[in-house]
A and B are shown apart, each in its own frame.
Chain A
Amino acid sequence: MREVAILGAAMTKFGISRKSNLEMFAEAGLEAIGQSNLEPKELQALFFGNCLGDFEEGQLHMAPFAHAELGLSLSAPATRFESACATATVAIRHATLLVASGVYDLVLAGGTERAARMGTPLATRTFAMACQAQYEAAAGLTFPGVFALATHLYAHKYDLPLAALKRDMAEVAVKNHSHGSLNPKAHFQKVIQVETVLSGMMVADPLQLLDCCPFSDGAAAVVIAEAGMARKLIKNPVYVAGMGQASAGPLYRQQDLTRVRARETSARAAYDQAGLTPQDIDVVELHDCFTIAEILALEGLGFYDFGKAHDSAARGETTFKGKVVVNPSGGLKAKGHPIGATGAAQVVEIVEQLRGESGARQVNGARVGLVDTLGGDFGTVCNLILRS
């Protein structure tokens, strides 16, 4: 397999947009191509992520239209990927695999989503379509519900008073909103307090409004190339050191929801390929769709023992100058979560961190970064390890 690198990496501002999915993707894609010193016609394929365009805009089969928006050549196939919230990471992984294997030298990968447009009732319903339709979603399960089930199980399993766990979880929200306040592309850029989180409306017991990420609009894209070609095009390619992806079944089959087995498998594959351990990681963008989700991810990725990450944010271990900087972008919690774009935006953040381009939220001396994206109710996890 050939070495693969990321060249241009760009995202729109996340939040509430009046632009269409295609318009947002064109902005991110053309910026990424321009950063790579390339013309669109030079790209050989598009790996395009979108989850719910049919509900958002009445648009299926968006990939060829994105291809036209960008001015790609007829010989460059455009293919849509859908892995729920892990969509764009999975698209980037498959793009990387096909460049590594020599099928392509130069491709574009990313995603776009206009989730805020649907409004809360329809968005809640369509997101829940990523749960097993016959045996789970029909009962009225929602995504906050999935993580609420995991929270109660976590409190019971590790014998933590629920009120204490909720305060620790609120500290995750406070930390990620604090990071988001340093990110001009974030959906939310306001600092919040623990009491703000604990006084929010209940969404799915015990998760309150600010335990949850928002429905967001946005797009993100990256150019991926064979490493030698990348070095000729730009001065600071970021290399793909390791990747993993794993799949698990419905929630009821996974049973102990405090252990995301797909993540443990995926992360191990990425660490093994990179020849690295959690101790080697300087900066992480991980899947904090809910406050408890960051805690589960920190344990599944090997940064903490199981049952020990709940007070990581409260102890200041996951912010700047901590043990490992987690979600400097603000994460899904504050940067926002346009599901089909999220994984690509995580990659954009890590690429900028490794290039020292992150301004006020720069992790000093960051050389190795980890991307962690969870799709659905723990059914898909995809991990990427990038190095400068």
Chain B
Amino acid sequence: MEYPLTFEQYQQGLSEGKLLGLHCQSCGAYTVPPQGVCRNCQGQNLFPVEVKGEGTIRTFTVIRVAPEGKQPPYVLTLVELEQGSWVMGLLTDRDPEKADMGLIGKRVRLAPHPGNGSLSPGEIQVPKFNLIAD
């Protein structure tokens, strides 16, 4: 079995402002970020696709005590994409001091450039999201 969409490929997509995922030919679900099998039906008939980087903030936090190597404060969010997957990312255009419950349900879009999130050997691109004006 050839891994359907590697982290390296996913990162390459992010660095070009694209969100990549897997489209299941059996059930139609999208799996973003990728994994070995479909997140919905565990099927293995998966094709890499670019998905639209828009979705809705489902929850968030402001990290104020950070892991060694990170500079707090920063806003983390779980975004539900239009395709149904949830993605962990940074919300970079909201002042952490103004991050409140009003964020939940707000629409966001993938920012054109990711952040660098590596703590261990190797670069890691992290999705950044920006709020879409109401």
Question: At the interface, yes or no: A198 with Cβ under 8 Å from chain B?
Answer: no
Instruction: Please tell me if the beta carbons of B64 and A133 are within 8 angstroms of each other in the complex.
Output: no
Interface of A is mostly: helix
Q: Across the interface, do B85 and A252 meet the contact criterion of CB distance under 8 Å?
A: yes
Contact A204 B61 (CB under 8 A): yes
A373 to B62, CA, bound (A): 26
Q: Known: A133-B120, A136-B88, A204-B62. Is A142-B67 also a contact (CB below 8 A)?
A: yes
Q: Are A141 and B88 interface neighbours, CB within 8 A?
A: yes
Decide if A68 is an interface residue (CB 8 Å cutoff).
Answer: no
Give per-residue flags for B38-61: 1 if the beta carbon is below 8 A from chain A beta carbons, else 0. 010000000000000000001111
Chain A 181-210 interface residues, beta-carbon cutoff 8 Å to B: 201-207
Which residue of chain B lies nearest to A134 when distances are taken between CB atoms in the complex? Answer: B7
Q: Contact between A156 and B76 (Cβ–Cβ < 8 Å)? A: no
Say whether B59 contacts A204, CB under 8 Å.
no
Given contacts A125-B68, A205-B64, contact A137 B119 (CB under 8 A): yes
Q: What residues of chain A lie closer than 8 Å to B7, measured between beta carbons?
A: 134-135
A128 / chain B contacts, CB cutoff of 8 Å: 67
Rounded to whole Å, the gap between the CB of A86 and the closest CB of chain B is 21
Specify the chain B residue showing the minimal Cβ separation from A154: B59
Q: In the assembly, what is the distance between CA of A255 and CA of B61, in Å? A: 15
Q: Is the CB of A134 within 8 A of B124?
A: yes
Asked whether any CB of chain A lies closer than 8 Å to the CB of B28, the reply is: no
Given that A138-B124, A144-B65, A204-B63 are contacting pairs, would A125 and B101 also be in contact in the complex, using a CB cutoff of 8 Å? Answer: no
Known: A125-B67, A128-B67, A139-B126. A152 touches B88 (CB 8 A): no
Distance, CA A149 to CA B103, complexed state (A): 12
Distance from A118 Cβ to chain B, minimum over Cβ atoms (Å) = 9
Min CB distance B67 to A, Å, is 3
A139 contacts B90, C-beta separation under 8 Å: yes
Within 8 A of B (CB), among A235-272: 249, 251-253, 255, 257
Contact present for A139 and B65 (CB under 8 Å): no
Q: Which residue of B61, B64, B126 has the most chain A CB atoms within 10 A of its CB atom?
A: B61
Q: List chain B positions with a Cβ less than 8 A from chain A.
A: 7, 33, 35, 39, 58-70, 74, 76, 78, 80, 85-90, 99, 101, 104-105, 115, 117-120, 124, 126-127
- A interface list, Cβ under 8 A from B: 120-122, 124-125, 128, 133-142, 144-145, 148-150, 152-153, 155-156, 162, 201-207, 249, 251-253, 255, 257
Sample (6) of A-B pairs whose CB atoms are under 8 Å apart: A134-B33, A138-B124, A140-B90, A156-B59, A202-B62, A249-B35
